[in-house]
Amino acid sequence: METRISRDLFERALEVIPGGVNSPVRAFRAVGMTPPFIKRAKGACVYDVDGNKYIDYICSWGPMILGHAREEIIEEITIAAQEGTSFGAPTEREVVLAEMICEAVPSVEKVRMVSSGTEAVMSAIRLARGFTGRDKILKFEGCYHGHSDGLLVKAGSGALTFGEPDSSGVPKDYAKNTLTATYNKIDQVEGIFKACGEEIAAVIIEPVVGNMGVVPPQEGFLKGLRELTAQYGALLIFDEVITGFRLGYSGAQGYFNITPDLSVFGKIIGGGMPVGAYGGSKRIMDLISPVGPVYQAGTLSGNPVAMAAGIATLRVLKNNPKIYDSLNAKAKQLENAFIEAAGEYDIPLVVNCVGSLLNPFFTNKKVVDFESASSSDAVVFNQYFKYMLEDGIYLAPSRYEAMFVSEAHSEEDIGETIKAIKSNLKRIKAKMKGS
Ligand X SMILES: *Cc1c(COP(=O)(O)O)cnc(C)c1O
Please report, as ranges, the residues that interact with ligand X according to CB under 6 A.
116-118, 121, 144-146, 206, 210-211, 239, 241-242, 266, 276
Pairing of strands 178-181, 393-394: unpaired
Least distance (Å) from ligand X to the CB of residue 206?
Answer: 5
Q: Are 277 and 245 in contact (CB under 8 A)?
A: no
The residue number whose beta carbon is nearest to ligand X equals 117
Shorter beta-carbon distance to ligand X: residue 43 or 266: 266
Identify the DSSP state of 338: H
Least distance (Å) from ligand X to the CB of residue 236?
Answer: 15
Cα–Cα distance for residue pair 335/360, rounded to 1 Å: 8
Shorter beta-carbon distance to ligand X: residue 107 or 424: 107
Radius of gyration of the chain (CA): 22
Least distance (Å) from ligand X to the CB of residue 191?
Answer: 25
Least distance (Å) from ligand X to the CB of residue 267?
Answer: 6
Instruction: From residue 46, give the alpha-carbon distance in Å to each of 34, 252, 334, 388.
Output: 17, 28, 19, 14
Q: Which of 401, 364, 356 is nearest to 64 (CA)?
A: 356
**Nearest 5 degrees, angle CA 277-CA 69-CA 108?**
20
Least distance (Å) from ligand X to the CB of residue 42?
Answer: 23
DSSP 3-state assignment of 409?
A: coil
Shorter beta-carbon distance to ligand X: residue 25 or 159: 25
Catalytic residues: 144, 239, 267
Shorter beta-carbon distance to ligand X: residue 252 or 337: 252
Shorter beta-carbon distance to ligand X: residue 144 or 362: 144
| Peptide bond between residue 290 and the one before it cis (omega within 30 degrees of 0) | yes
Q: Are 405 and 210 in contact (CB under 8 A)?
A: no
Q: Are 282 and 61 in contact (CB under 8 A)?
A: no
